[in-house]
Amino acid sequence: MTLLLTNADVRGLLTMQMTIDALDRSYRGLATGETVCRPRIESLVPTKRPGHTYLCGTMEGGSSDFGYFAIRLQSSILYHSSYAGVRTEEKFASRPGLFCGLTILFDVENAEPVAIMHDGYLQGLRVGASVAIGARYIAREDAHVLGVFGAGAMARSHLEALRYVRPIDRVQVFSPTREHREAYAREMADKYKVEAVALDEPSAVCRGADIVCECTDAVEPVVFGQWLEPGTHLTYVGRNRLDSEAYNRVDVSLRLTTASSPIGHPEWATDLWTMTYAARRSVDDDTPPAVRRGEGRFKRVISLEDMVSGREQGRSSREQITNATRGNVQGAEFFAIAGVVYEAARAAGVGRELPTEWFLDDVRD
């Protein structure tokens, strides 16, 4: 039987510690060759509604060690919106407030689909866990003040995850909407017993912060280099969220790992997070939102493999400004986390069972 798992099911099964452990194991598998993945690929199609673009984004990966392979599929309508002077990228499926994100998990021993699960809750923990793993290797060990841009699900998962690797006892947050940032501060203070302060000025997020996390859906820079203080560890969830000075001020960026090139085509190797293909009706169409995405360059980038082997040094002083990113290995994350969720669901008897025969046929492709 194939399990259908909703976000509510995943929420009841998956913990942050499970997520961190699964990702760490998968990242090590990439270094040893037990794990395979490809970067995210997006396809864009203009819709009949001006300013709205259809996006299909996929990423995939698997491991002989875990015994699973998964493809994560996102189907969305993208458009831009503005509020409180900030331009954001919004998305929905069917209608605003609904989304379509699925992870389909396969057994590598018999190729059967063993689970189909919503990826919304899983996604948030995944990003937070990868940020925590990076911080564990390169943020200052005594980092305890967290500055956060954004007050949504990502901001919540970042704090939860970082508390596993650093002694966070103060959070300072800015979001353009006062009610959102104040609600976030109250919730985090109550949940984690930390000092949490909602700020009225975005630059204040970086003031005295040991770790600064950008957790927004903005399409323009949110973090500016002139705000960063010596010793800061900087993370971000999207592209175009840092200005050029922020990239220049980072002394060393730790890239957890990079997807390998296809067999026989080393020239196709890429460090791009996403490869985007777009259809156009005419040259007069608005540029689809996702096409505008770009990523700046840090002046020094090291890999986790080189750092732990001693070939490269990570943080060399308290004053250095550092960054950590996962690299373009999202596909290596979803199968690992989905696999532990599936096993936990089987053990707990959670989920709706669907006949696997529904997904198999007797016609060879």
Whether the per-residue pLDDT at 294 is higher than 50: the answer is no
Question: If you average pLDDT over residues 201-217, what whole number do you get?
Answer: 96
Whether the per-residue pLDDT at 141 is higher than 90: the answer is yes
DSSP result, 94-127: SBTT--EEEEEEEETTT--EEEEEE-HHHHHHHH
Superfamily of domain 2-122+330-359: ornithine cyclodeaminase, domain 1 (3.30.1780.10)
pLDDT of residue 364: 84
- Sign of the alpha-carbon torsion through 24, 206, 306, 325: positive
Tell which wins on pLDDT, 270 or 131.
131
Residue 296's pLDDT band (cuts 50, 70, 90): low
The CATH fold assigned to 130-259+294-325 is: Rossmann fold (3.40.50)
- Judge residue 278's burial from the number of C-beta atoms within 10 Å of its C-beta, 0-12 exposed, 13-18 middle, 19 or more buried: middle
Average pLDDT, the chain: 91
Out of 32-36, 84-88, 169-173, give the one with best mean pLDDT: 169-173
Residue 353's pLDDT band (cuts 50, 70, 90): very high
Listed in order, the ranges of the chain carrying CATH 3.40.50.720 are 130-259+294-325
Whether the per-residue pLDDT at 94 is higher than 60: the answer is yes
What is the pTM (predicted TM-score) of this model?
A: 0.87
The set of residues, in sequence order, having a beta carbon less than 8 Å from that of 226 and lying 6+ positions away, is 245
Q: How far is CA 76 from CA 9, 90, 212, 274, 294, in A?
A: 23, 9, 29, 16, 20
Tell which wins on pLDDT, 89 or 84.
89
Whether the per-residue pLDDT at 218 is higher than 60: the answer is yes
State the Cα–Cα distance between residues 350 and 66, nearest whole angstrom. Answer: 21
Tell which wins on pLDDT, 291 or 1.
1
The 10 Å Cβ neighbour count of residue 359 is 13
Listed in order, the ranges of the chain carrying CATH 3.30.1780.10 are 2-122+330-359
Whether the per-residue pLDDT at 256 is higher than 90: the answer is no
In the chain, % of residues over pLDDT 90 = 73
Closest to 161 in 3D by CA, of 133, 188, 189: 133
Question: If you average pLDDT over residues 15-35, what whole number do you get?
Answer: 91
Question: If you average pLDDT over residues 209-216, what whole number do you get?
Answer: 96
State the Cα–Cα distance between residues 253 and 247, nearest whole angstrom. Answer: 9
147-165: per-residue pLDDT in tens?
Answer: 999 999 999 999 999 999 9
pLDDT of residue 292: 41
Whether the per-residue pLDDT at 32 is higher than 70: the answer is yes
Residue 37's SS3 state is strand
Residue 273's pLDDT band (cuts 50, 70, 90): confident
Question: If you average pLDDT over residues 326-348, what whole number do you get?
Answer: 94
